[in-house]
Amino acid sequence: MTARSIFILFVLLRLTGQAAAQTAMVNPVARSKQSLNGTWQVIIDPNNTGEWLKVWQERKPEKKTDFFEYGFDNGPMLRVPGDFNSQLPELTYFEGTVWYKRTFNHTPTDKRLFLYFEGVNYLADVYLNGVKLGSHEGGFTPFQFDITSQVKAGENALVVKTNNQRQLSGLPSFGFDWLNFGGITRNVWLIETPATYVDDYTVQLKKGSLKIIAATVQLKGPQAAGSEVRLNIPELRIRKKITADANGYAYMEFPAQVQPWSPAAPKLYQVVLETSAEAVTDTIGFRCIETKAGQVWLNTHPIFLKGVNIHEENPYTGARAATAADDSVLLRAAKDLGCNLVRLAHYPHNEQTIRLAERMGLLVWDELPIYQHINFSDAAVPVKMETMLKEMIRRDKNRCGVVIWSLSNETYPSTPGRNKALIELTAACCALDSTRLVTHVTNTQQYAGNVVTVTDTLYHFADLICVNEYIGWYVPWQGNPADTKWRLAFGDKPVMISEFGGEALYGQRKEPEDMAASWSEAYQAEIYRKQLAMFENIPHLAGVCPWILFDYKSPGRMHPVYQKGYNRKGLLSEKGERKQAWQVMKNYYGKR
């Protein structure tokens, strides 16, 4: 074990105080599984009292003098998946501990049994039958526990301590502009596998090629070494097989005449990976994404990225998007706008969102929650960043619709350790997956004398220059937008405006509408018109992405008349009403 590996292990143990959760197997929906979704019993614990009371033990009175000051029975109930903030009014802005409990029955078999969580925000401690399985940090990526030896015949009690309290050295940290939805926000599964099972795989086109598929498979279990792995793509009449090495790892590459996936033709193929004990089926598309000559190229043709930013919130329910119906609401609105890309801000959204986007022909921008006030000086933070990166890439690397790994948003160059940490993270990302574009999003540009100057060390390591700018809203115009000049010192790298816009309350048409303080639709729409005129002067412009699709909950937005706890930069209101700026962007995309 290297010194770096020892250090990482030490930090992880220090963070959790016990064993960390295991890295989740890929493609859980294709496995033999039992859903643990539904109604769970909960204890709301604002003072974290349950930790020293040891509520996971669920002790019951045995003598007349016994009593315990906690209990799940006859208490509140919450839906899983789902955030707790939107389910009980008293928890609307709650940040703290909520304990969840449910039981499940188990019949012993010769299979392995895994407890799989798609997402718990932010800290999770998991207990089975009164014994701690381990912990996980991070609200947006999956984790699992092998419970084969801990589960018992008959009824089992599962307790999960969730805590969404902001952490100084968390990802994200203290300051972020959305409601901090807490709880078990995504699906929970019991997954059965053979003793030796397919843990991980990648099946994608080889970098820079449209004719060669590269596939890796990782087996785990006592018979992993020397096991035969078969890969079948029935529609292409491809059947390949290879023997796993001593570490259970198999690699193959082979020619294939594929129909490339694209927004216009989102072609997906059934891919089956088989061993003597298991078959795992996936639907996978094949495409090539790269940059050259100041443009983004998809399948050897330039493409203009017509994007929109999306938060994982169903606007009509005001809850964390947790179901396929929630995802459909968001993605169909993006399609209606004329988008070919969705930026899933500012954290990895759930896997079913990404799969649905892929089927709908939407490119996906996948992002880590490394947002603004990150404590880079804490030695534990780079370890957390790399762990979340690995979890995101492992989950989404077979989704051809994912074309961008975004590794940070609006971090500050003056922060000690920022450049070093993010440059190292970029190298780690490229080592894990070199087939997609890598970017960091900044707002460090200078605007003076009607000239925008973009400089940031991170862009020397990025494939795509992505800039958030709110000229016309937070920053006044300094001249005619159509005459604004842009200075960029990054060669011919393509540029994307990853955020722009301003706030407006739907239906607000008070005079004077030419003032920001009017919060009017007309003022917001004029910002958009001026921005679009300014974009014509940006060298190597490869795409734009307005902020944001829907108005969304944000406790920091405190205007009592116009905001009421919502960020009003949406092109649509939280009721789905189209503001004037919606049509401005729709017309623009219709002409690109």
User: pLDDT digits over 140-174, tens only?
Assistant: 999 999 999 999 999 999 999 999 999 999 999 99
Cis peptide before 548 (omega within 30 of 0): yes
CB contact at 8 A, 434 and 396: no
Asked whether residue 358 is assigned to any structural domain, the reply reads: no
Q: What are phi and psi of 444, to 5 degrees?
A: -100, 5
The dihedral formed by the CA atoms of 483, 489, 494 and 500, expressed in degrees to the nearest 10: -50
Question: pLDDT at position 155, please?
Answer: 98
Question: pLDDT at position 11, please?
Answer: 41
CATH number at residue 164: 2.60.120.260
Q: Domain check: are 315 and 423 in the same one?
A: yes
Question: pLDDT at position 561, please?
Answer: 93
Residue ending a domain, among 139, 164, 193, is 193
Asked whether residue 3 is assigned to any structural domain, the reply reads: no
Q: Domain check: are 161 and 269 in the same one?
A: no
Residue ending a domain, among 159, 176, 193, is 193
Asked whether residue 563 is assigned to any structural domain, the reply reads: yes
Asked whether residue 127 is assigned to any structural domain, the reply reads: yes
Buried-state track 464-476, b at ≥16 Cβ within 10 A, e below 16: bbbbbbbbbbeee
Residues 6+ apart with CB under 8 A from 358: 261, 266, 268, 285, 364, 399, 400, 401, 402
pLDDT band for position 3 (cuts 50, 70, 90): very low
Question: pLDDT at position 17, please?
Answer: 42
Q: Domain check: are 201 and 185 in the same one?
A: no
CB contact at 8 A, 196 and 209: no
Q: Domain check: are 135 and 248 in the same one?
A: no
pLDDT of residue 13 exceeding 90: no
pLDDT of residue 12 exceeding 80: no
Please tell me the total count of domains within the chain: 3
Asked whether residue 353 is assigned to any structural domain, the reply reads: no
Question: pLDDT at position 512, please?
Answer: 81
Q: Please compute the mean of the pLDDT values over residues 503-519 and round it to a whole number.
A: 90
pLDDT band for position 18 (cuts 50, 70, 90): low
Q: Domain check: are 207 and 188 in the same one?
A: no
CATH number at residue 204: 2.60.40.10
pLDDT of residue 526 exceeding 80: yes
Round to whole Å and give the CA distance between 280 and 426: 31
pLDDT band for position 4 (cuts 50, 70, 90): very low
Residue ending a domain, among 193, 216, 244, is 193
The order of strands in the sheet holding 295-298 is 289-292, 295-298, 301-303
User: pLDDT digits over 405-436, tens only?
Assistant: 999 999 999 899 999 999 999 999 999 999 99
Q: Domain check: are 501 and 516 in the same one?
A: yes
Strand residues in 206-303 grouped as ranges (E): 212-220, 228-233, 238-243, 249-255, 269-274, 279-284, 289-292, 295-298, 301-303
Asked whether residue 548 is assigned to any structural domain, the reply reads: yes
Q: What kind and span of H or E run contains 52?
A: helix 50-53
Round to whole Å and give the CA distance between 558 and 323: 29
**Residue with the larger pLDDT of the pair 8 and 540:** 540
pLDDT band for position 14 (cuts 50, 70, 90): very low
Q: Domain check: are 32 and 78 in the same one?
A: yes
Q: Domain check: are 184 and 211 in the same one?
A: no
Asked whether residue 429 is assigned to any structural domain, the reply reads: yes
Percent of the chain at pLDDT > 70 equals 97
pLDDT band for position 491 (cuts 50, 70, 90): confident
The dihedral formed by the CA atoms of 494, 498, 500 and 505, expressed in degrees to the nearest 10: 150
Pairing of strands 188-193, 112-117: antiparallel
- Which of 348, 345, 426, 362 lies closest to 400, judged by CA? 362
CB contact at 8 A, 100 and 41: yes
Q: Domain check: are 134 and 283 in the same one?
A: no
**Residue with the larger pLDDT of the pair 19 and 86:** 86
pLDDT of residue 208 exceeding 90: no
Round to whole Å and give the CA distance between 252 and 244: 10
Which of the 8 DSSP states describes residue 182?
A: -
Work out the mean pLDDT of the chain and round it to a whole number: 95
User: pLDDT digits over 215-273, tens only?
Assistant: 999 999 999 999 999 999 999 999 999 999 999 999 999 999 999 999 999 999 999 99
CATH number at residue 424: 3.20.20.80
Q: What pTM was computed for the model?
A: 0.95
Pairing of strands 465-468, 485-488: unpaired
Q: Domain check: are 237 and 339 in the same one?
A: no
Round to whole Å and give the CA distance between 421 and 416: 10
Asked whether residue 62 is assigned to any structural domain, the reply reads: yes
Q: Domain check: are 515 and 375 in the same one?
A: yes
**What is the domain range of residue 533?**
299-343+367-386+399-591
Amino acid (one-letter) located at 120: V
User: pLDDT digits over 102-127, tens only?
Assistant: 999 999 999 999 999 999 999 999 99
Percent of the chain at pLDDT > 90 equals 93
Q: Domain check: are 139 and 222 in the same one?
A: no
* Three-class SS state of 319: strand
